[in-house]
Amino acid sequence: MVSVAKVNFDCTINGEKKTISAYPMARLLDVIREDCELTGTKEGCGEGECGACTIMIDGELVNSCLVPALQADGAEIKTIEGVATGEQLHVVQESFVVNNGAQCGICTPGMIMAALKLLEEHPDPSPDDIRHGLAGNLCRCTGYMKIFESVLAACQSMKQEV
Amino acid sequence: MANAAIGRSVPRKEGRSKVTGEIQYIDDLSFPEAIYGTVIRSPVARGKILGVHFEGDFPWDEFIKVTAEDIPGENRQALILNDQPCLAVDRINHREEPVLLIAHPNKHLLIEARKHVRIEVEEETPIYTIEDSDAKKEVIWGEDNILKKYRVEKGNVDDVWASAHKVIEGEYRTGAQEQLYIEPQGMVAKASPEDGVTVWGSLQCPYYIQGSLEVLFGIPADQCRVVYAATGGGFGGKEEYPTVIAGHTALLAWKSGKTVKMIYDRAEDMAVTTKRHPSLTRHKTAIDKDGKLLAMDVEFLLDGGAYATLTSVVLSRGTIHAVGPYLCPNVRVNARALATNLPPHGAFRGFGAPQSCFAIERHMNKVARAAGLTPEEFRNRNFLNKGQRTATGQLIEENVDMQGLLTTALEKSDYHAKKARFAKENVGQRIKKGIGFATFFHGAGFTGSGEKHLASTLGMEADRNGRIRVLAASTEIGQGANTVFSQVAADTLKISYDAIDIEKPDTEKVPNSGPTVASRTSMIVGNLVAVAAKQLLAKLREAQLLGDEYTPDQFNSACDQYIEKHGELKVISEYSQPPGINWDEENYQGDAYGTYAWAAYVAEVEVDTLTYVTEVKDFVAVQEIGKVLHPIMAAGQIEGGVAQGVGFAVYEKVVWRDGVMINNQMTNYIMPTASDVPEIRVFFEEEPYAYGAAGAKGIGELPLDGSAPAVINAVEDAMKIDIDFIPMLPEDLFELIESAANNGQGEE
Ligand code: FES
Ligand code: FES
């Protein structure tokens, strides 16, 4: 077996500066889960299909199972653990609890990341915007209806807050 | 008293931990000392093992290796029959059959190394289809390939054919379906002769696993501990299969003395774990000139795969549901589950009923046409009503109104207007629209005397602050078990929903409340929660610490005083069968289920005649499920089930080659996404069931039964073509239309 050396690089994860030491081709997903011990990001397929591993890099949604660790060099990363503010849930999280947008919960972290991006791009999403924005995140439990309702209700409360 | 929790959509008990990512599934739990295990599997579907070779440049002596010889107890998966070994010894009966286990601290090395273990096999001819197995082309299981058979007989169908107004025959097929929980299966184990075996995992049924570890290791139950980790979906896929993984992981731990972790990747999970049984159903039906059913003769066949697993129980449910919610004086159902050299099929939400329901609901449309009646008029003339008897002779004593449910569903979906409009507008259009429905029922809980044999128990304990802990082996797999148990406990005790905690299922801490299957958790185990709560109140009252009326504060101080005096306040409730249930297992006669859920589903589709793609555009699900304990969660269960049913009908196809699934990836086994699902509109009618928790019936599996036939009946309406199989993907529809065109059927 050829041995490749680990490399060190800096990045920000959920607002915290970190120095990561990883094999260059390691999956960012594994670095986040194993090295950073942020296990809220899940692996459902490992091939970019299910969205359970969705995180944000510099504000863009990515499937972390497809991203080589080195791509995080200098980047700002946000995972589900960085969505709430202390004990205070984000409106979208709160809405998923109230509207039963999470059943088994395994798709939920990725789904919430996708919902955040969706609401950022479409503060007043149409049903089609929602379907489209969440189409990269598979959920086997809910049939998506309660997820759509969670997003819509979150959007309503966000409007009221403004 | 606190606000009643039942009937109100209280927040999901573990909801917060799910939206923050805090909740830990098996792969999230930290076992820093763990090494990794994997399974070396058979490369062929049938044959004799000649040898095992460790090849390539690997430090093989560093690997822990386990073969059947290392098994301390019996080499079998203890389930219903004892036909399935934990590790194959001489014979191979399906592709991917486990032959040996290896483990190593370096995961990447392990994954590379496993490709270099070669199993030398002398191949034999396998069989892969129900027909080949039924014809005994090769005998691969027992004397006749029959894993199980049942016969239901009511009246005498053979007396009817000659004098019937019409006799209509049909043959229907359903394919394998992957559960596709988004969390792949996995286990962690520690084991040693001194400390026994402990496994943690993603699972539905802790006590099933405990039972099998006992046999595998030859040690008493109390030395086999099974601990649930948060489970990311099951749908039956984590009913019996986790037993296999638990055994493998524990054997590696036993031999190595180390903690061993085994998490399947998606490809392995899809290729090797159980799927929904493929089915073939033949119907022969006689009607009189008024369109009334006179006789129904059904042959119901399942492909069980290479070993029996839970097939007999799946076959049983499919058999009992085979003639649907219709009244017929003469019924015969011959059911057989046949062995093939495919990996064993197993539990999947619906458990045989979705297969036989697809057949009967397609067939009823065909019979209606022969009778010259609309599908709804034909069904209205034949629905089972209160006071009548099912195929097994069960007297229906509950208030059933299938006609009412169907009428509601047709109204909510605007069925009549749409049907007429589509017929007019479809002419000459590329996109053909259609609307169709299915009417069906689903027996709740275990079949026949199953619940009596399970004899489930549940515990409840109070602390000195009046906080209540429910002790049950029932697992939260997304369906809301924790929430429902808390609602029932809170309302029975008249305290706040927030004062209830649910103990994590762990065989060392919770009694056996039975497996988390068969839509039984809310109805049956939920009722055990109510019974336990009443026992707890009775204790406090006997001790004269609580009056008939009390505030939550008084309850808390009563608990405090009781514990002060007696040390603990704990009760165990036990299942007792509702009166008047009689089941004759021998002849398949009697009360098959304590109660049934009843439903009418309507689907609207658009079929693109250029691409042959079917899209489901609207879906109305009307059902009577007893008392609705939690409206939002109940609707969520139905919606999730409908989406899986839509997948079963027009998206999800397991492609087999040489005995193994070759599209074992999410990229080419396609389940519905957020852009594929129709708007699903759910409506409930409530007829409280006296013996279910607060009047609840089971609902988890119901939506799988009727969704697929409703969709295909809608496609039939759009395309004017008979479709007798699912999954029906674009390529299948294309072929069907081509061959129908050649035979002169299809649209004029
Ligand atoms: S795990 Fe990354 S997309 Fe499925
Ligand atoms: S909640 Fe289970 S997969 Fe989405």
User: Which domains are present in chain A?
Assistant: 7-81 (3.10.20.30), 91-161 (1.10.150.120)
Question: Is residue B383 in some structural domain?
Answer: yes
Assess whether the C-beta atom of A143 lies below 6 angstroms from ligand 2: no
Window from A98-107, B637-646, B732-741 with minimum mean pLDDT: B732-741
| B185: contact with A, CB 8 A cutoff | no
Residues B288 and B267 both lie in one domain: no
Question: Is residue B557 in some structural domain?
Answer: yes
The CA distance from B563 to B663, in Å, is: 58
Question: Is residue B132 in some structural domain?
Answer: no
Question: Is residue B151 in some structural domain?
Answer: no
The CA distance from B386 to B381, in Å, is: 14
Residues B534 and B683 both lie in one domain: no
> Do A79 and B154 form a contact (C-beta atoms < 8 A)?
no
Q: For position A3, what pLDDT does the model report?
A: 62
- A103 and B640 within 8 Å at the Cβ level: the answer is yes
The whole-number average pLDDT for the span B109-124 is 97
Residue A1 has pLDDT above 90, yes or no: no
Three-state DSSP class for residue A159: helix
Structure tokens at B145: 């390939």
* Residues 244-273 in B contacting A (C-alpha not used; CB under 8 Å): 265-266
The whole-number average pLDDT for the span B651-668 is 98
Write the CB contacts of A13 (distance below 8 Å, at least 6 apart in sequence). A32, A36, A38, A77, A78, A79, A82
Three-state DSSP class for residue B483: helix
Q: Of B574, B609, B627, which one is at a domain's C-terminal end?
A: B574
Residues B300 and B315 both lie in one domain: yes
Closest CA to B432 of B715, B736, B738, B737: B715
Strand B279-287 with B98-104, pairing: unpaired
Residues B538 and B659 both lie in one domain: no
Helix residue spans in B230-331 (DSSP H): 241-256, 266-272, 311-320
- B183 and A104 within 8 Å at the Cβ level: the answer is yes
Distance B185 CA to ligand 2 centre (A): 15
**% of chain B residues with pLDDT over 90:** 95
Residue B746 has pLDDT above 50, yes or no: no
Structure tokens at A34: 């194993």
The whole-number average pLDDT for the span B497-501 is 97
Q: For position B745, what pLDDT does the model report?
A: 53
Strand B679-685 with B614-624, pairing: parallel
The whole-number average pLDDT for the span B45-57 is 97
Strand A60-63 with A16-22, pairing: unpaired
Three-state DSSP class for residue B93: coil
> Do B638 and B682 form a contact (C-beta atoms < 8 A)?
yes
Residues B247 and B111 both lie in one domain: yes
Assess whether the C-beta atom of A54 lies below 6 angstroms from ligand 1: no
Q: For position B580, what pLDDT does the model report?
A: 85
| Structural domain total, chain B | 3
Taking each helix axis as running N to C, give the angle between helix B241-256 and helix B206-217, from 0 to 180 degrees, rounded to the nearest 10: 40
Q: For position B744, what pLDDT does the model report?
A: 65
ipTM of the complex: 0.98
Q: For position B1, what pLDDT does the model report?
A: 43
Distance of CA B634 to the CA centre of its chain: 17
Residues B341 and B249 both lie in one domain: no
Q: Quote the DSSP letter at residue B581.
A: -
Residues B252 and B229 both lie in one domain: yes
Assess whether the C-beta atom of A58 lies below 6 angstroms from ligand 1: no
- Provide the domain limits for residue B76: 31-124+179-272
Residues B403 and B464 both lie in one domain: no
Question: Is residue B357 in some structural domain?
Answer: yes
Residues B38 and B120 both lie in one domain: yes
- B665 and A141 within 8 Å at the Cβ level: the answer is no
Question: Which residues make beta-bridge pairs with B590?
Answer: B583
Q: For position B349, what pLDDT does the model report?
A: 97
Number of H helices, E strands in chain A: 5, 5
Residue A75 has pLDDT above 90, yes or no: yes
Q: For position A159, what pLDDT does the model report?
A: 86
- Per-residue pLDDT tens over the stretch B208-220: 999 999 999 999 9
Taking each helix axis as running N to C, give the angle between helix B481-493 and helix B526-542, from 0 to 180 degrees, rounded to the nearest 10: 30
Minimum CA–CA partner of B178 in chain A? A140
Assess whether the C-beta atom of A105 lies below 6 angstroms from ligand 2: yes
The whole-number average pLDDT for the span B19-32 is 98
In order of B162, B284, B542, the CA distances from B168 in angstroms are 13, 6, 65
Residue A2 has pLDDT above 60, yes or no: no
* Residues 94-113 in B contacting A (C-alpha not used; CB under 8 Å): 109, 112
Q: Of B552, B574, B596, which one is at a domain's C-terminal end?
A: B574
- Per-residue pLDDT tens over the stretch B592-619: 999 999 999 999 999 999 999 999 999 9
The whole-number average pLDDT for the span A101-113 is 98
Structure tokens at B257: 């003395």
Q: For position B495, what pLDDT does the model report?
A: 97
Question: Which protein residue has the closest C-alpha to ligand 1 atom 3?
Answer: A48
Question: Is residue B493 in some structural domain?
Answer: yes
Q: Quote the DSSP letter at residue A51.
A: -
Of A49, A104, A143, which is closest to B642 when you measure between CB atoms? A143
Question: Is residue B161 in some structural domain?
Answer: no
Q: Of B574, B609, B628, which one is at a domain's C-terminal end?
A: B574
Assess whether the C-beta atom of A133 lies below 6 angstroms from ligand 1: no
Of the ligands numbered here, which is closest to the C-alpha atom of A138? Answer: 2
Q: How many CB pairs under 8 A join A and B?
A: 172
- B20 and A89 within 8 Å at the Cβ level: the answer is yes
Residues B73 and B217 both lie in one domain: yes
Q: For position A162, what pLDDT does the model report?
A: 64
The CA distance from B42 to B121, in Å, is: 9
Q: For position B614, what pLDDT does the model report?
A: 98
Question: Which protein residue has the closest C-alpha to ligand 2 atom 3?
Answer: A139
The whole-number average pLDDT for the span B711-729 is 97
Residues B569 and B665 both lie in one domain: no
Question: Is residue B298 in some structural domain?
Answer: yes
**% of chain B residues with pLDDT over 70:** 99
CATH of the domain at B370: 3.30.365.10
- Per-residue pLDDT tens over the stretch A26-67: 999 999 999 999 999 999 999 999 999 999 999 999 999 999
Window from A6-10, A157-161, B475-479 with minimum mean pLDDT: A157-161
Q: For position B740, what pLDDT does the model report?
A: 84
Which atom from ligand 1 is nearest to the alpha carbon of A43?
1
Distance A60 CA to ligand 2 centre (A): 23
The whole-number average pLDDT for the span A128-151 is 98
Please work out, in degrees rounded to the nearest 5, the angle formed at the alpha carbon of residue B481 by the alpha carbons of B475 and B487: 145
Write the CB contacts of A106 (distance below 8 Å, at least 6 apart in sequence). A42, A44, A52, B25, B181, B182, B183, B232, B233
Window from B305-319, B442-456, B628-642 with minimum mean pLDDT: B442-456
* Residues 2-31 in B contacting A (C-alpha not used; CB under 8 Å): 9, 11-12, 14-25, 27-28, 30
Structure tokens at B570: 């704990």
Closest CA to B619 of B654, B587, B644, B583: B644
> Do A40 and A105 form a contact (C-beta atoms < 8 A)?
no
- Per-residue pLDDT tens over the stretch B517-559: 888 999 999 999 999 999 999 999 999 999 999 999 999 999 9
Residues B74 and B86 both lie in one domain: yes
Which atom from ligand 2 is nearest to the alpha carbon of A140?
3
- Per-residue pLDDT tens over the stretch B322-351: 999 999 999 999 999 999 999 999 999 999
Structure tokens at B445: 């809980």
